Amino acid sequence: MPELATQRLVLRPVAREDIGRIATLAGDQRVAEMTRSVPHPLTEENVAGWFDGLATRGERAFAIVRKDESDLIGVVSVTVNERSGDVGYWLGHEYWGQGYMSEAVRRVARFAFGDLKLPALNAEVFVDNARSVGVLVKSGFDVEGRAMRPAPTRGGDREVLVFRATRASFARAALSQAVGRE
């Protein structure tokens, strides 16, 4: 897996050495509650099991690291399936609201559409997660609908927004971002 870069971030493959940091950051209840798959409490054993299954699931997981530091601040991944990819992500609570996740998701989408040649990407977020909705919209994802999904950390099934991005919608969003900076 390659290392990817953005203006402020390095996205490198997740390593076994990251397990403790992932357990600490993703194990924060505020973070876990925003995901469908992170249990709370989260143990290093949980993270090691996830890490060991990456290849089996076809998941390419990237550690999000600020260029001026070496510590992981979150994870963004794309899981390749037969016709598309599923994007998942989380960010340590202290790093929320700084634009890091939008930057990371856009870079992983560029990798998925370019290097992996995927025709589409999918993502799901809880309907009350406005920040995550913003990340996806900025990255060229469109709302496809709503669904009920298991959310163990939230105590049962919860409603999610189902998003999809195509090469065309991603390209439009990237162009819009570039024009907005001029």
Residue type, 147: A
pLDDT at site 181: 61
How high is the pLDDT of residue 155? 86
| Distance linking the first and last C-alpha atoms of the chain | 33
pLDDT of residue 8: 97
Q: What is the pLDDT of residue 180?
A: 64
Among 33, 56, 65, 52, residue whose Cα is nearest residue 153: 33
Range of the domain at 56: 4-181
CATH at residue 37 = 3.40.630.30
Q: Percent helix, strand and coil across the chain, each rounded to 5? A: 40, 30, 30
Output the tens digit of pLDDT for each of the chain's 182 residues: 999 999 999 999 999 999 999 999 999 999 999 998 899 999 999 999 999 999 999 999 999 999 999 999 999 999 999 889 999 999 999 999 999 999 999 999 999 999 999 999 999 999 999 999 999 999 999 999 999 999 988 888 999 999 999 998 888 888 777 776 65
What is the tally of structural domains in the chain?
1
Rounded to the nearest 5°, which phi and psi values hold at 130? -60, -35
